Amino acid sequence: MAMISTFTIGITGGSGSGKTFFINELSSHFKSSQVCLLSQDHYYKPIHLQEIDERGVENFDLPEAIDRERLLADIQSLKKGNSVSLKEYTFNKSGVIPAMYTFRPSPILIIEGLFVQYFQEIEKELDLRIFIEAKDYLKLSRRISRDKLERGYDVHDVLYRYEHHVMPVYERLIEPLKHQADLIIPNNSNMKAALNIVADALKVQLQNSNKA
């Protein structure tokens, strides 16, 4: 298929900052054919390839946990007008049958994940870089709720991972990237105004693309 005109947005920030909420709310302003949402969470390497810490716990919060080569290839494929199919990553939830997802090329491509800006080859694909930030206690609270529901971790496991995996990587690799983002959006109470501004700007971008 021919190359399509795609405006590519990277959404990053700390775990629990509200990245997924932001992209879901943002996409609600558009038709499904106008936006493609791609999450880094679909690109974790198999669990047996994950690095193990000194307590024998898999560390999913390292850059090495992600199949960055496939992520880049799929981004470039979508921008060329091709669809991409992926199997759901189920972490340690036993008995769960992974779903299959199909992502179709769209005028707006949104890529969400912890390392979207950190991986330089991915960062080069972005037209707009958005960093979502939040206070630490809010990120932890959201992480506890998410990991219990989506990944099957109990609260002690979540707290251990947050202290020994999540925060060290965030402080060392992710937080410094905030200053290279095009937009920094705080998510401590309400992101509605920021969401509306970004959505309006993207609607203008779509209009200009249609005129081109």
DSSP letters, 75-129, are: HHHHHTT--EEEEPP-TT-TTPPPPEEEE---SEEEEESTTTTTSHHHHTT-SEE
Mean pLDDT across the stretch 26-40?
93
Spell out the residues 6+ positions from residue 55 whose beta carbon is closer than 8 angstroms to its own: 160
Residues 7, 85, 82: CA angle, nearest 5 degrees: 45
CA distance 40 to 167: 18
CA distance 118 to 175: 10
pLDDT band at 52 (very low <50, low <70, confident <90, very high): very high
| pTM for this entry | 0.87
Q: Which fold has domain 7-205?
A: Rossmann fold (3.40.50)
Predicted confidence (pLDDT) per residue in 131-185, tens digit: 998 887 778 777 777 766 666 677 888 788 888 998 999 999 999 999 999 999 9
The dihedrals phi and psi of 133, each to the nearest 5 degrees, come to: -125, 155
Q: Provide the strand spans (E) within the chain.
A: 7-13, 35-39, 84-87, 100-103, 108-112, 128-133, 183-186
Q: Could you tell me the residue ranges of all domains in the chain?
A: 7-205
